[in-house]
Amino acid sequence: MDSTCTIQRRYRKQKLTYTGGTGTPVVGQTVTGGTSHETAEITKVGTGYIVVKDLSGMFTIGETLTTTTLSGTLSVQADYLNQSNEYEYYWLDDQVDVPCRFGYSRRDSESAMIHETGQLLDQPVKVALPDTITLVGTQGDWAANYRISSIADGFYGVFQIMTPYVSKGISGIDHYSLILKVVP
């Protein structure tokens, strides 16, 4: 493989509901659990709750949550649903400096957009990854829960996984091929 890339994983933001709060939390602050010592970054503040991302782990119900401007007792930790009743997500680097090889899908690939005249209209980006990577969930889940970040020459940016392929050799999985789309 001639480049390296970063595999990013998607996580749901968490809503931490607290009681007995003194002080006011501020977006951007780090909240720390008094018992678990877990941390997270505050992204939204509401009455009696905060929404967080970049969790280091699970907080413990009943522990004291603190920031430089807040102290309260955690009563509930749950996935955050916004006003539209949809989960909110954030991305974290999951696997860094992964050997990879970028290229374009072949002309005869299903993923290539070919006009009826035979003219190639769009040739999607493809990346090959080694069999040593770890992608959790089913192959169908990978497109929603992972993306690729790259600074490789000609392939700089963040890419959404459109179609994942597992290439198998004689002794098992040989490598992964992912058809990608640039994230605007």
DSSP string, the chain: --EEEEEEEEEE-EEEEEEEEEE---TTPEEEETTT--EEEEEEEETTEEEEES-SS---TTPEEE-SSEEEEEEEEEE-B-TTS-B-EEEEEEEEEEEEEEEE--TTSTTSEE-TTS-EEE--EEEEEETT----S-HHHHHHHEEEEEEETTEEEEEEEEEEEEEEETTEEEEEEEEEEE--
Same domain, 40 and 71: yes
Residue 58: strand pairing partners: none
**How much is the pLDDT for 116?**
55
Q: Give the global pTM.
A: 0.81
Task: Give buried/exposed letters for 110-125 (b at 16+ CB in 10 A, else e).
Answer: ebbeeeeeeeeeebbb
Same domain, 130 and 149: yes
Provide the residue range defining the domain that includes 85.
10-90
**How much is the pLDDT for 167?**
84
Which residue in the block uniquely carries the two structure tokens 């970054």?
Answer: 41
Same domain, 69 and 24: yes
Tally of structural domains, the chain: 2
Same domain, 83 and 107: no
End-of-domain residue from the set 49, 69, 90:
90
Same domain, 84 and 97: no
Q: What is the mean pLDDT of residues 117-125?
A: 63
**Two tokens at 8?**
């990013």
Same domain, 74 and 103: no
**How much is the pLDDT for 64?**
98
**Two tokens at 69?**
């401007």
Same domain, 114 and 84: no
Does position 72 have pLDDT exceeding 60, yes or no?
Answer: yes
pLDDT digits (tens, 9 = 90+) for 137-161: 988 899 999 999 999 988 999 999 9
Same domain, 99 and 83: no
**What percent of the chain shows pLDDT beyond 90?**
70
Same domain, 123 and 85: no
**How much is the pLDDT for 112?**
47
Q: How confident is the model at residue 117 (pLDDT cuts 50, 70, 90)?
A: low
End-of-domain residue from the set 27, 56, 90:
90
Q: How confident is the model at residue 124 (pLDDT cuts 50, 70, 90)?
A: confident
End-of-domain residue from the set 90, 120, 147:
90
Same domain, 78 and 99: no
Which backbone phi and psi does 140 adopt, to 5 degrees? -65, -25
| Residues 6+ positions from 94 with CB-CB distance below 8 Å | 6, 7, 8, 9, 146
**How much is the pLDDT for 75?**
98
Least confident of 39-48, 84-93, 111-120: 111-120
**How much is the pLDDT for 26?**
97
